[in-house]
Chain A
Amino acid sequence: MVNPIHIVSIALGVAFALGFLGKRDKLSLGLVLSTLAGMVAISAGWFIHFLNSSVEPLQIFTGGFKPPFAINLQMGLAEATFTLLINVAGFLGAIYLTKELLKTGKNMMLIFLVFILGLNVMVMTRDLFNLFVFSEIQSIALAGLIILDPNRKSIPSGFKYVIATGLISSFLLLGTVFAYYFSGTLNIDFISQASLQYVKGGAVAVFMVILAVILELKPFPANGWALDVYESAHPGIGALVSGIAGTTSLFVLYKLIPVAPFISDILITLGLVSFVASNLLGLSQTNPNRLLGYSSIGQLGLLSATIGMQQLLGDKFIFIALTILISHFFAKAGLFWLSGIINRDDIKDWAMLRKKPILLVLFGVFIFSLIGFPPLPSFFGKWSLIMELSAGNQYMLVTSILIGSFIEGIYLFRWLGYAIKLDFSDLPEFKLNISKFLPTLTWGILLIATGVVASAEMEGLSGLSYWPLIFIAFIYLIDELPIYIKNTLSIAGLAFYSWLTLPELYYTDMLRFIFMGIFLIGGILTLIAGYAYKGKRRGFYPVALIMYAGLAYIIQASTTLEFFFGWELMTAGSYFLIIRGKKSINHALSYMLFSIGGAYAILAGFGITFAETQSMLIASLSQLSNMVPLVFILLAIGFMTKTASLGLHIWLPGAHAEAESDVSPMVSAILLKAGVFGLLLLMIAMGNNPQIATIAYYLGWLGALTALVGNMAAAFQEDAKRLLAYSSIAQLGYILFALAMMSHLGWLTAMYYSINHFLYKAILFLTIGAVVLKVGTHSMYKMGGLIKNMPLAFIAVLIGIIALSGVPPLSGFGGKWLFYNAVIDKHWYFQGIIVFFSGIVAFLYLYKLIYSIFLGQLKDNLRHVTDISLWFAIPIYILIIGIMIISAKPEWLLQPLGKMISQWYPNGALAWNGGLATSTYGYWNGNGVMITIGIMFTTILIWLIVLSRKAQKVKQFNIVYAAEAPQRPETTHQSYNMYAGYNKALGWIVAPKITEFWNMMSDWILSLAHFTRLIYNGNGQRYLIYILGYFVIIYFLVF
């Protein structure tokens, strides 16, 4: 095992030796690189050594004397880890900067080398003054690296950096020498033994030391200098500053906490303030590097807060801190490196990434790891963090952390959206320099790898198998293959998974069986439609499968962690599905924001639960005794962001309408059910708690209003898919209402509706999507008369709307009938009336849908469109068969459902006598009604046929008209603004109040951000004043 001191000796030796080489830059660079490689090797060796055997850390006594008489370095597992991180990053960073270093010559190379060295020693040393010396080394070296490419921007910012760090290190030195005076030693361990915080003056000394370190972490608002550096310096340098320099300072802070333990509490506050504030300021930032600067300052704030929480977090601390830190370390460096490859000044230009798709994937990985999505390390870190904090009842901290992360999500996903969607045709071509690409790629891979390792560390995640994810990865690898191969494989995958899971679920757990069926079978059916597409359809299948995997995980989850894992996975997948649509960049963003917000609400709810029950089992929700309403509301809100209940619904219409033809059914008919499932779990667990009843009462009202507004809005749409989207909102409103009744019939209705809605909404969206593919427009008034060209589609839509409207004899009526009985049974008359009213309003849009598209006048440009693609027709008609079966034999569905629900609500079940269902109030024989109506209908049909056999077909426009008949379909097709009178009468109900509310919120936040960031007026002296002020103010806060 090589003595760690040789990290220093070889680095310095080489740095000095470069003087011999004179102008031979290539050779020098090679030397530097190999040196860095050597340093990596040394630290790696120690890392492995300590990983395998938990031996005492190694102490290196410089000068050959024991501390406190001489400086000693320490090499333990922590040190090994951090030096390894530093050196690897240094090595790759140097590779990344090859071109620049060769251009600038050997001076920069040796500065770079010394910079890395300084960081190494800062990690290892146990001597305060030595720490000061080497932090000076790294900051001076950095001051040199900033001017790697000297220009109007980098030089002044370099100067700002020098004076700022100069001031900060003076504080450090002052503190250090007085710490020596009061404690008689410079060794960190001995100083902390002297516990100076109790010595008059000594406390101030250590305060200065620790505060200097905190200031090195660029806390808000004393960080203007750092931002300028991030913006102006070469991104390769930015990566080093944000990635490894920040990491090192964090480790130093961690190392020094024992010297001034009293700082912990205030440190938490400072860190979180910095976290929230700098994320907020990031909102109105368009320069990628500066934006990354804001983000990394935020992350550092969160991490330093975490260090302050060491006591709260207990033995979980290391795991949490490390996972979050590593995500930041890899992601931020990676993003800076990407920025260096792109080399543009506006985040909008990052659409360039699409010219090299792999870069886009890396970008996504980095962004998602910053927000903390599975399976990336920070997901587990944030999860554990929230859990532990809640366990300590630190709800203020939880709240601020979640708020901060949410704000961070806003700009990061806006950025991702730009990269994925914006037009990049007029952006310049760029060639991918291997020396720049390799490090970035490595970082992405390492990030995922650490995520997997971290997931292995978590308890409560054992239930989920990783095979689906591996399968998805495989699907991504074959992304270049033609569509039918990937589609077949995906379908096969889903089929296989359902074969694995469904049969046993059927016998063990009906509820999960039903939803798993909706998710997987629905998935297969919607995927079949994918055969209709041509070409490769890059990136579609991985994300679709990610969504389905997430859904499956939700079903299989037994612990809250597994559930949340699946939930986030599903969110991520659906986000990518939605953003694939043509104009859906903003809709996808708002979908993501609502989802994140909801996810954080869920997280908080689970946290509170864990705090009390100390158990991660989902069942533990039922053991909760205090704060039940809060948890219930939090979780309900979280789930209702998916069910798009009134107030949380504004993301849905756009997202579903703009999505691709076969994606709309996925996200509408299938995805929304995840929220329903969540609500069901929630109510099953907590339903018997008396406090919930009142909340459920209001949920019921919410559901009713959602139904009303949804249907009303749908009636006034001109865009077919938007209309269906609003209809989905309304349908989910019914379901929410029915769930909230928390009675046997109520839940029966809810389940029946969930299944039905899945069937007919899938039919409608698939059909309309297929039609849209053919006619090339969403606007209904541009279609018309298509019944002649598309009989298949017409029949499908006809069945769909009859089923949806609840007209007997099709399955929809069952829902209505159950509804009446449930409502009267529950005495929720007035909510009920609203729901029935909206149910009738549904006729408006249903008629508009089918009339405007298929009836009325055929347009000239559509005379030759053919019927919908067979690949769409197949799943559609399979679903229609499903509807027919349920309509003819409702008991086949309702009886098992009733049995299932009886385990929670035994009272008020339906009595079955053959096909005749009898409730307390009414009775209904679906089968009989079907037959009766069938016979009657056919009789009359036959009669009419007998009477008018020779009815002759006439041409279009052959209509009786007062004047001569109009010959233009556009003027004769009465579709646009069909319900003008109705709008005049009741349009006020759907005035976009809620959208306005959310817009107002966002405007407000943005203006706040814009106003706050004015404090960074670019004046170096102002920044110094901030630093001094920070120093003084914090002093008065502490003492």
Chain B
Amino acid sequence: MTQYLSVEFIAMLTGFLLMVIGVWGIISQKNLLKIVIGFSLFDTGLNIVIVSLSYVKNSTAPILDKAVEVSDAASKIADPVPQALVLTSIVIGLGVTALMLAYVMRMFREKKSLEINSYNELKW
């Protein structure tokens, strides 16, 4: 039970919560911008989850300085890998979001509408 109160677990729970909200936005909102926002919520949640994976019980940032000596680094620091991954995923998320926004703008220019329902020419 105690594990469910630990910081990383709460962090992860938050992350998942954000993701669920994001998904709900994606599948239920009709406004293009809101859908994009749903996506970035989803990404944010995902990133929080990733970070929460890197945490090791009462450890510190994986940076070697006065606080953490090279010798006992292994026992002191948190896992650096997910932190590296989250960096990447943030950037990718940024790129994707920018792309989506650009698309939205362009579509708006074509039809002056932000309703996703008004873009169904192609079907069947």
Binding site for B on A (CB under 8 A): 129, 133, 136, 140, 143-144, 147, 150, 152-153, 155-159, 162-163, 166-167, 170, 173-174, 177-178, 180-181, 186, 227-228, 231-232, 284-285, 1013-1014, 1016-1021, 1024-1025, 1028
Answer whether A153 and B100 are a contact pair too, CB < 8 Å, given A174-B46, A1021-B116. Answer: no
Beyond A166-B39, A228-B122: 11 further Cβ-contacts under 8 Å?
A: A129-B88, A136-B92, A177-B53, A180-B82, A186-B81, A1016-B123, A1018-B120, A1018-B123, A1019-B119, A1019-B120, A1024-B26
A150 to B107 Cα, complex, angstroms: 10
Binding site for A on B (CB under 8 A): 23, 26-27, 30, 32, 35, 39, 42-43, 46, 49-50, 53, 81-82, 85, 88-89, 92, 95-96, 99-100, 103-104, 106-107, 110, 116-117, 119-124
A162 touches B99 (CB 8 A): yes
A170 touches B99 (CB 8 A): no
B92 touches A170 (CB 8 A): no
A162 touches B53 (CB 8 A): no
A1024 touches B110 (CB 8 A): no
CB contact between B49 and one of A153, A174, A228, A1017 (< 8 Å): that residue: A174
Provide the residues of chain B in CB contact with A174, threshold 8 Å. 46, 49
A170 touches B42 (CB 8 A): yes
B123 touches A180 (CB 8 A): no
When C-beta atoms are compared, the residue in chain A nearest to B118 turns out to be A156
Answer whether A133 and B88 are a contact pair too, CB < 8 Å, given A162-B103, A174-B49. Answer: yes
A180 touches B81 (CB 8 A): yes
When C-beta atoms are compared, the residue in chain A nearest to B50 turns out to be A177
21 A-B pairs in the complex with CB atoms less than 8 angstroms apart: A129-B88, A133-B88, A140-B95, A153-B121, A157-B122, A158-B103, A159-B103, A162-B96, A162-B103, A170-B42, A173-B46, A177-B49, A177-B50, A227-B122, A228-B122, A285-B124, A1013-B124, A1017-B123, A1018-B119, A1018-B123, A1028-B27
CB contact between B117 and one of A147, A155, A228, A1019 (< 8 Å): that residue: A1019
Provide the residues of chain A in CB contact with B100, threshold 8 Å. 159, 162-163, 166
A177 to B89 Cα, complex, angstroms: 11
Provide the residues of chain B in CB contact with A231, threshold 8 Å. 122
A159 touches B123 (CB 8 A): no
A1025 to B42 Cα, complex, angstroms: 15
Provide the residues of chain A in CB contact with B85, threshold 8 Å. 129, 177, 180
Count how many pairs of residues, one from A and one from B, have CB atoms less than 8 Å apart in the complex: 101
A1021 touches B35 (CB 8 A): yes
Provide the residues of chain A in CB contact with B116, threshold 8 Å. 1019-1021
B124 touches A1014 (CB 8 A): yes
A163 to B101 Cα, complex, angstroms: 11
Provide the residues of chain B in CB contact with A159, threshold 8 Å. 32, 100, 103-104, 107, 119
When C-beta atoms are compared, the residue in chain B nearest to A152 turns out to be B110
A1024 to B28 Cα, complex, angstroms: 10
Provide the residues of chain B in CB contact with A143, threshold 8 Å. 99, 103
Q: How far, in Å, is A221 (CB) from chain B's closest CB?
A: 12
Provide the residues of chain B in CB contact with A156, threshold 8 Å. 107, 119, 121-122
Provide the residues of chain A in CB contact with B46, threshold 8 Å. 170, 173-174
Interface centre among B30, B49, B96 (most CB of A within 10 A): B96
A1014 to B123 Cα, complex, angstroms: 8
Q: How far, in Å, is B109 (CB) from chain A's closest CB?
A: 9
Provide the residues of chain A in CB contact with B119, threshold 8 Å. 156, 159, 1018-1020
A46 to B82 Cα, complex, angstroms: 34
Provide the residues of chain A in CB contact with B49, threshold 8 Å. 174, 177
A133 touches B92 (CB 8 A): yes
Provide the residues of chain A in CB contact with B95, threshold 8 Å. 136, 140
The 5 A-B residue pairs with the shortest CB-CB distance, nearest first, are A1018-B120, A1018-B123, A156-B119, A228-B122, A159-B103
A1018 to B100 Cα, complex, angstroms: 18
A157 to B119 Cα, complex, angstroms: 9
A174 to B48 Cα, complex, angstroms: 11
Q: How far, in Å, is B114 (CB) from chain A's closest CB?
A: 12
Provide the residues of chain B in CB contact with A158, threshold 8 Å. 103
A152 touches B89 (CB 8 A): no
B27 touches A155 (CB 8 A): no
Interface centre among A136, A180, A1021 (most CB of B within 10 A): A1021
When C-beta atoms are compared, the residue in chain A nearest to B26 turns out to be A1024
Interface centre among B42, B50, B122 (most CB of A within 10 A): B122
Provide the residues of chain B in CB contact with A285, threshold 8 Å. 124
A166 touches B96 (CB 8 A): yes
Q: How far, in Å, is B110 (CB) from chain A's closest CB?
A: 6
Q: How far, in Å, is A165 (CB) from chain B's closest CB?
A: 9
B103 touches A181 (CB 8 A): no
Provide the residues of chain B in CB contact with A150, threshold 8 Å. 106
Provide the residues of chain A in CB contact with B117, threshold 8 Å. 1019
A267 to B116 Cα, complex, angstroms: 32
Provide the residues of chain A in CB contact with B96, threshold 8 Å. 136, 140, 162, 166
A163 touches B99 (CB 8 A): no
B26 touches A167 (CB 8 A): yes
Provide the residues of chain A in CB contact with B30, threshold 8 Å. 1021
A155 touches B122 (CB 8 A): no
When C-beta atoms are compared, the residue in chain A nearest to B119 turns out to be A156
A133 to B96 Cα, complex, angstroms: 12
Answer whether A1024 and B122 are a contact pair too, CB < 8 Å, given A162-B96, A162-B99. Answer: no
When C-beta atoms are compared, the residue in chain B nearest to A165 turns out to be B96
CB contact between A1024 and one of B27, B50, B81, B121 (< 8 Å): that residue: B27
Provide the residues of chain B in CB contact with A173, threshold 8 Å. 46, 89
A155 to B82 Cα, complex, angstroms: 35
Provide the residues of chain B in CB contact with A163, threshold 8 Å. 26, 35, 39, 100
Provide the residues of chain B in CB contact with A1014, threshold 8 Å. 124
When C-beta atoms are compared, the residue in chain A nearest to B116 turns out to be A1021
A1019 to B116 Cα, complex, angstroms: 7
A180 to B81 Cα, complex, angstroms: 9
A177 touches B120 (CB 8 A): no
A173 to B100 Cα, complex, angstroms: 19
When C-beta atoms are compared, the residue in chain A nearest to B92 turns out to be A136
Provide the residues of chain A in CB contact with B124, threshold 8 Å. 284-285, 1013-1014, 1016, 1018
Interface centre among A285, A1018, A1028 (most CB of B within 10 A): A1018
When C-beta atoms are compared, the residue in chain B nearest to A224 turns out to be B123
Q: How far, in Å, is B102 (CB) from chain A's closest CB?
A: 10
CB contact between B110 and one of A155, A170, A1013 (< 8 Å): that residue: A155
CB contact between A1017 and one of B35, B89, B120 (< 8 Å): that residue: B120
When C-beta atoms are compared, the residue in chain A nearest to B16 turns out to be A174
A163 to B103 Cα, complex, angstroms: 10
A883 to B93 Cα, complex, angstroms: 83
A232 touches B122 (CB 8 A): yes
CB contact between B53 and one of A147, A181, A186, A1019 (< 8 Å): that residue: A181
A170 touches B82 (CB 8 A): no
When C-beta atoms are compared, the residue in chain A nearest to B28 turns out to be A1021
Provide the residues of chain A in CB contact with B88, threshold 8 Å. 129, 133
Q: How far, in Å, is B73 (CB) from chain A's closest CB?
A: 16
Provide the residues of chain B in CB contact with A166, threshold 8 Å. 39, 96, 100
Provide the residues of chain A in CB contact with B23, threshold 8 Å. 1028
Q: How far, in Å, is A168 (CB) from chain B's closest CB?
A: 12
A163 to B97 Cα, complex, angstroms: 10
A1019 to B122 Cα, complex, angstroms: 9
A1021 touches B27 (CB 8 A): yes
A205 to B107 Cα, complex, angstroms: 36
A1016 to B120 Cα, complex, angstroms: 10
When C-beta atoms are compared, the residue in chain A nearest to B84 turns out to be A129
B27 touches A180 (CB 8 A): no
Provide the residues of chain A in CB contact with B92, threshold 8 Å. 133, 136
A1025 touches B27 (CB 8 A): yes
CB contact between A152 and one of B35, B42, B121 (< 8 Å): that residue: B121
B103 touches A155 (CB 8 A): yes
Answer whether A180 and B53 are a contact pair too, CB < 8 Å, given A1020-B119, A1021-B27. Answer: yes
Interface centre among B81, B106, B117, B119 (most CB of A within 10 A): B119
